[in-house]
Amino acid sequence: MDEAELVGAARGGDRQAFDELVRRTFVDTFTLARRLTGNEEDARDVVQEAYLRAWKGIGKFRGDAAFSTWLYRITANAAASSIQRRRRHRVVPFDDDFEPVDTGAEQLVSQGAETAEALDRIADALDDLPVKLRSVVVLKDVYGLSHEAIADELGISVSAAKVRLHRARHKLRDVLYDEGAQADAV
Amino acid sequence: MRCDEVTALLPGLVDGDPVGFEAERHVETCLRCQAELARYRRLLRTLSMLRTRYAEPTPGLLGETLAVITEAAERGARHTLLSGRRLAYAGAIGGGALAAGATAAVLIARSRKRALSLAG
């Protein structure tokens, strides 16, 4: 069965079809949840919540977008809820204070950003971003969601989403390339 | 425009956002800003490559997730069943009351008719 058929069956209440969709998308969804939350523990909760919401809402899925995109949006929304809950329960949770860490960026610049090591560094730099900025840059630049979709799922305006995206990119650029740029200038 | 003013616009320019004629013209002629824009392009390219760099899910999480959905689905089914039964009970009670009312009306009508015929 292809994805469209599985979605059609799941919309009609076929649990086996939905379970198959879960199996096929699980690693991808977990990866997104991990990137959005920045840690594995919260990612687990977000994944379960996302699939539960997807099961409850599958009847409303109209198929305008790909199933994976629909699931990304649900996951983003579940992660945003999880983050809000954490905010209420932790004393020093997600401030915007951001201390760029030394990531050995000269090497990254000289070797080119497309190496496995560079991907590890950029993943680490993402984890170090404040969550508000991380969510937007992950959804836009890694998963390709539109500004409108991101704004919808995170409960912010489109202009706020753009501002956060630009700030996130600026911070990532500082972390990854600043030392290299200074070294170039010398 | 100065480089520091244009630099602030580069995270948007890399998406093709309109930044104004002056800023665009500055970038066209400024090697420093062009290098900076190239860094942002490289950053975006690398970020997009993360899309297929998957994280390893916690062992057992898939099974747990399917179990959570099963539990929710069963809860939902029980709820639906209960709602259905409630509807059926309500229908039965309503139907019974209606039938009783109709029977009573018929009996009353008959007794009146009999009373009238006896009187006549």
Q: Find the CB nearest B57 among A26, A126, A142.
A: A26
Q: From A46, which residue of chain B is nearest by alpha-carbon distance?
A: B65
What is chain A written as a DSSP string?
A: --HHHHHHHHHTT-HHHHHHHHHHHHHHHHHHHHHHHSSHHHHHHHHHHHHHHHHHHGGG--SSS-HHHHHHHHHHHHHHHHHHHHHHH-SS---S--------HHHHHHH-TTSHHHHHHHHHHHHHS-HHHHHHHIIIIIT---HHHHHHHHT--HHHHHHHHHHHHHHHHHHHHHHHHHHHH-
Q: Is the dihedral of CA A44, A48, A49, A51 positive or negative?
A: positive
Q: How confident is the model at residue B93 (pLDDT cuts 50, 70, 90)?
A: confident
Domains contained in chain A, CATH given: 1-93 (1.10.1740.10), 97-186 (1.10.10.10)
Q: What is the pLDDT of residues A12-43, one digit of tens each?
A: 989 999 999 999 999 999 999 999 999 999 99
CB contact under 8 A, B11 and A165: yes
Q: What is the mean pLDDT of residues A1-8?
A: 90
Residues above pLDDT 90, as percent of chain A? 63
pLDDT at A64 over 50: yes
At residue A98, the pLDDT reads 40
pLDDT at A131 over 80: yes
Q: Find the CB nearest B49 among A28, A119, A137.
A: A119
CB contact under 8 A, B47 and A122: yes
ipTM of the complex: 0.77
Q: What is the pLDDT of residues A150-186, one digit of tens each?
A: 999 999 999 999 999 999 999 999 888 875 554 444 3
pTM: 0.74
At residue A92, the pLDDT reads 40
At residue B82, the pLDDT reads 62
When comparing pLDDT for A114 and B99, which is higher?
B99
Place of tokens 């898939």: B62
Cα–Cα dist A73/A32, whole Å: 10
Cα–Cα dist B72/B55, whole Å: 27
Q: From A180, which residue of chain B is nearest by alpha-carbon distance?
A: B39
A66 in contact with B at a CB cutoff of 8 Å?
no
Which residues on chain B place their C-beta less than 8 Å from a C-beta of chain A? 11-12, 14, 17, 35, 39-40, 42-51, 53-58, 61-62, 64-66, 68-70, 72-73, 76
CB contact under 8 A, B50 and A122: yes
Q: What is the mean pLDDT of residues B19-45?
A: 93
Say which DSSP state B21 is in.
H
Q: A159: which chain B residues are within 8 Å (Cβ-Cβ)?
A: none
Q: Do residues B64 and B58 touch, judged by C-beta distance below 8 A?
A: no
Q: What is the pLDDT of residues A39-62, one digit of tens each?
A: 999 999 999 999 999 999 999 898
A183 in contact with B at a CB cutoff of 8 Å?
no
